[in-house]
Amino acid sequence: MSARLLQIQCCFVQSVRNYGKLNKHLLFKDGKRYEGVIYYPRRPDQEDPPITPSKLLRVQRIKPMKGNTHWEKKILIDLKLDTNMNDFAIVKNIPENCERLWKVKHLVKIVPITFPYGEPTENDIDHTFLKENGECIVTKEIKIDDGRVEATRKFVDDTRKLDSETLVKDSRLKWLNPF
C-alpha cells in the first residue's frame, strides 16, 4: 500500500510541465566537433574520403527567404543573399564561415571555386570570369588569334557557299512542287 502511494508521489515529483523542442546538444551525445560545426555521423566509425579543400566557396541561395527562422535569415542577410536568387556570394573557406554555412545548408548551393588556368592576380581583374560550376577562368593574355580570324574570313568569302536567300527560295520551291 505504502509502496504504491510512494510510486504515485514519485510520478508527481518527476512531472515535466513543458512540451517542446529539446536541447539538441544535451540530448545527442554522439556528435563530433569540427571547430564550431557539430556533425553527427551515420555510424560511429564513419570515415569520409580525403579531400583537398578549396580556398573559396561560391554560395547561392536556392530557397525563398520567407518562412525561415530569424537566425537563418540573419546569416543570409549577412552574406547579402537576401534579395535576388541569382546573386551569389564568394566566401572564404574558414571555420567561422563554415559554421555559418552549416546552419543554412538547406537554403544554399555551395560550390568550391577551382582555378584551372591559375589564380588571378591584380592585373587580371578585367579578364576573369567565374562560371556556375565554380571554375574561375583567367585569360592571362588578351590578343587576337590569327587562325580564327582567317577561318572566319574563309567561311564568309566562300563563293561555293549558298547564301541564305537562295537556300530559302530553293526549299520553298521544293515544298511547293515536291515531285
Partner 1 sequence: MLLRHCEKLLKGVAFNPLCSIQSVGLKYFAPPINYDHVEPAERPKLRMFEKVPQYPPNLRPPKMQKKLRFMRGPELVHNTLLHKQYGIIATGGGRLRWGHLEMLRLTIGRKMDTNRMFAIWRVQAPWQPVTKKGQGQRMGGGKGSIDHYVTPVKAGRVILEVGGKCEYAEVKGFLENVAAKLPFKAMAVSQEMLDQMKAEEERREEENINPFTMKYVIQNNLSGCHKWVSPVDYKWFGKYH
CA dihedral 162, 164, 166, 171 (to 10 degrees): 110
Counting contacts by CB under 8 A, is residue 22 touching partner 1? Answer: yes
Residues of span 61-100 touching partner 1 by CB under 8 A: 68-69, 72
Cβ atoms 57, 96 nearer than 8 A? no
Q: Which residue in the set 6, 10, 13, 24 belongs to the binding site for partner 1 (CB under 8 A)?
A: 24
Counting contacts by CB under 8 A, is residue 40 touching partner 1? Answer: yes
Q: Which residue in the set 32, 34, 39, 167 belongs to the binding site for partner 1 (CB under 8 A)?
A: 39
Counting contacts by CB under 8 A, is residue 26 touching partner 1? Answer: no
Smallest Cα–Cα separation from 57: which of 89, 79, 103?
89
**CB of 111: closest distance to partner 1 in angstroms?**
19
Counting contacts by CB under 8 A, is residue 13 touching partner 1? Answer: no
Counting contacts by CB under 8 A, is residue 15 touching partner 1? Answer: yes
Cβ atoms 108, 81 nearer than 8 A? yes
Smallest Cα–Cα separation from 55: which of 105, 114, 118?
114
The CA–CA distances, whole Å, from 91 to 52, 113, 122 equal 17, 10, 18
Give me the residue label for grid cell 535569415: 73
Looking at the Cβ atoms of 15 and 159, the one nearer to partner 1 is 15
Counting contacts by CB under 8 A, is residue 148 touching partner 1? Answer: no
Q: Interface residues with partner 1 (CB under 8 A)?
A: 1, 4-5, 7-8, 11, 15-16, 19-22, 24, 27-28, 31, 39-42, 68-69, 72, 105-107
